[in-house]
């Protein structure tokens, strides 16, 4: 029986979030919090592997109390258990401190049931670093398989997994020992609408919530802001490109207008000595 832990994060919906023009930071109150879309695919893949091989799926998040909603969403997708680590001691964590805290929680989950596989999203839509998954794998001394687009086989008895890893111009087939960690691409699966029984279970589900004192062998200097060597020196919103014009009319007409513009630019370029 496989025990799969999917790491998930609640994020602001960056499709509609507004930026504070004064501070150049995200105005988190301006957008609803959602389950990081890549993590929905991670949980869906974990649930599919559970269906294929038998087992249980646990989800884990580090976040503030409202992140319980993201765990409930994962129960709707089909996860069995949800764990959340939440404490002021974790606040201000960069990816190094985040991976440290999550690793300590995974150690505790593994005492309940040994972990065979950890699945993360490729990245989050608010932080975008893609570092947390490989960070966890490094700390747990297990192989990180990033950019996974297909799981070919998991063989717990013989202790290996085979996946397709996305490359720029194709994919490679990789075999790894278990336990290992996958970071998954969105194309790995489609997340369907949740079945009604899962939604009913999620509505009343209460995740396991742990504070820092519930975790074992924690070096507090590696947590939160204290354990975060990253310094964000400046943040800015990209400027929208100015100018440009809309080409109107039938396609043929638009192509004609476009060629006129290109020729005009070319003449201008040549008049300035360009070749």
Q: How far is the CB of 11 from ligand FAD (least distance, A)?
A: 7
Q: Which is nearer to ligand FAD, 92 or 249 (CB)?
A: 92
Which residue in the shown chain puts its C-beta closest to ligand FAD? 127
Q: Which is nearer to ligand FAD, 230 or 254 (CB)?
A: 230
Provide, rounded to whole angstroms, the least separation between the CB of residue 28 and ligand FAD. 9
SS3 184: strand
Residue 37 or 257 having the CB closest to ligand FAD:
37
Cα 231 from Cα 210, distance rounded (Å): 28
Query: Please, which residue, 2 or 35, has the CB nearer to ligand FAD?
Result: 35
CB 255 to ligand FAD: min, Å: 41
Residues 6+ apart with CB under 8 A from 164: 148, 149, 150, 152, 171, 172, 173, 174
Of 128 and 267, CB closest to ligand FAD: 128
Closest approach of ligand FAD to the CB of residue 202, in Å: 18
d(CA 92, CA 229): 11
Token pair for residue 126?
Answer: 């608010």
Closest to 37 (Cα-Cα) out of 126, 159, 139, 112: 126
User: Which of helix, strand or coil describes residue 144?
Assistant: strand
The bridge status of strand 55-62 relative to strand 160-167 is unpaired
| Residue 242 C-beta: closest distance to ligand FAD, Å | 31
Question: Measured in Å, how far apart are the chain's first and last C-alpha atoms?
Answer: 68
Question: Looking at beta carbons, which pairs linking 17-20 to residues 24 or more positions away fall under 8 Å?
Answer: 19/237
User: Which lies closer to ligand FAD via its Cβ, residue 190 or residue 248?
Assistant: 190
- Decide: 205 and 75 in contact? Cβ < 8 Å: yes
102 vs 215, beta carbon nearer ligand FAD: 102
CB-CB contact of 95 with 127 (8 Å): yes
Q: How far is the CB of 235 from ligand FAD (least distance, A)?
A: 10
Mapped onto helix, strand or coil, the DSSP state of residue 241 is: coil
Residues that bind ligand FAD (CB under 6 A): 7-9, 36, 38-39, 42, 60-63, 91-95, 98, 102, 120-121, 123-124, 126-133, 228, 230, 232
CB of 123 to ligand FAD, least distance (A): 3
């Amino acid at each position: 029986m496989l025990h799969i832990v999917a790491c998930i994060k609640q994020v602001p919906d960056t499709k509609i979030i507004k930026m504070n023009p004064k501070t150049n930071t995200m105005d988190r109150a301006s957008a609803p919090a959602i389950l990081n879309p890549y993590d929905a695919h991670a949980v869906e893949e974990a649930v599919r592997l559970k269906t294929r091989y038998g087992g249980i799926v646990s989800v884990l998040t580090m976040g503030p109390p409202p992140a319980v909603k993201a765990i409930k969403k994962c129960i709707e997708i089909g996860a069995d258990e949800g764990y959340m680590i939440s404490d002021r001691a974790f606040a201000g964590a960069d990816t190094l401190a985040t991976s440290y805290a999550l690793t300590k929680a995974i150690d505790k989950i593994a005492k309940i049931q040994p972990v065979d596989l950890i699945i993360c999203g490729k990245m989050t839509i608010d932080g975008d670093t893609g570092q947390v998954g490989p960070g966890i794998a490094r700390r747990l001394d297990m192989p990180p398989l990033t950019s996974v687009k297909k799981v070919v086989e998991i063989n717990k008895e013989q202790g290996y997994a085979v996946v397709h890893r996305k490359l720029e111009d194709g994919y490679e087939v990789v075999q790894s020992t278990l336990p290992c960690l996958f970071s998954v691409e969105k194309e790995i699966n489609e997340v369907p609408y949740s079945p009604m029984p899962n939604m009913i279970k999620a509505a009343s589900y209460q995740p396991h919530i742990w504070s820092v004192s519930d975790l074992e062998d924690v070096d507090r200097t590696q947590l939160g802001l204290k354990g975060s060597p990253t310094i964000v020196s400046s943040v800015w919103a990209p400027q929208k490109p100015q100018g440009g014009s809309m080409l109107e009319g039938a396609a043929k007409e638009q192509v004609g207008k476009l060629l006129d513009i290109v020729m005009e630019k070319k003449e201008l370029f040549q008049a300035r000595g360009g070749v």
